[in-house]
Every structure is written in structure tokens, then in C-alpha cells.
Amino acid sequence: MAFDILKRAFGQKADVPEEEYLEIDLDKGERDKKIIVKPFVLRVYEDTNEILNAIRDGFTIAIIDIKGIRQKDSIELKRAISKIKKTVDALEGSIAGFGENLIIATPSFATIHKEQQKPKEEPRRSKFDV
């Protein structure tokens, strides 16, 4: 009874059933975002910050051209790749190299198919081969 008086005092009707509720769709914001495939060029080590910020956003697949830094400084290249790999692993994403100059890094919603390379078979030798 005191609760009904309080409801009337604040402008709410006392006869509103308790079962009424408002449903809020919390996932709607995520559905509105689209996946972005974005190319990056890694020229210097500091370029890794832009790449990592895009991957941390969670909706970007990064295609990274490493030719520029590869020709300049192999040590900087190793540092940059290591930093990107650690971040991608922490986000449970995937990273893979394609050819000599491309790396693809994805967040957790995407995986990169990696085929297992078969070891080359050596020709069989007979006991009479020298």
C-alpha cells in the first residue's frame, strides 16, 4: 500500500502490471559494424601502432606489405613482426605470411587456413647405389 502511494507520487500508475518490461538489444551495435579488409605498408617500426590499433578494434583484417622495411632493416622488421604477432596472439587472432612481402593479421572472428607442407620425399636408393 505504501508502494502504491509512492508510485502515484512519482507519476506512475499503481495498476501497471509488474510483468511489463522493456527489452534492449545490446548486440545491435555490433551488427551494424562491417568487417574491413585494410591494406597497410610497413616502412618503419612505428607503423606497427596504426596496424595494431586497427586489429584491436576487432573488425579489421590487416594486409601488411613489409617490402619497405624489409629492404631497409631486417632487425626492425623482426621487431615489428614480433610485436604484431604477440598482439594478434593475445587477441586470439591469426597471422600468416604470404610470399616474401605480405603478412595477413586477423582478429579472433577470422582464421587463416594454413596448409601443412609435406616433406619432400627423397628417391629410394637401392643397396647397389653408390
Domain ranges of the chain: 33-59+72-97
Q: Beta partners for 102?
A: 65, 98
Contact 49, 64 (CB under 8 A): no
DSSP 8-state assignment for residue 21: -
Per-residue pLDDT of the chain (130 residues; tens, 9 = 90+): 666 665 666 665 545 555 676 666 666 555 557 888 999 999 999 989 999 999 988 888 999 999 988 888 889 999 999 999 999 999 888 899 888 889 999 988 888 877 776 666 666 666 666 5
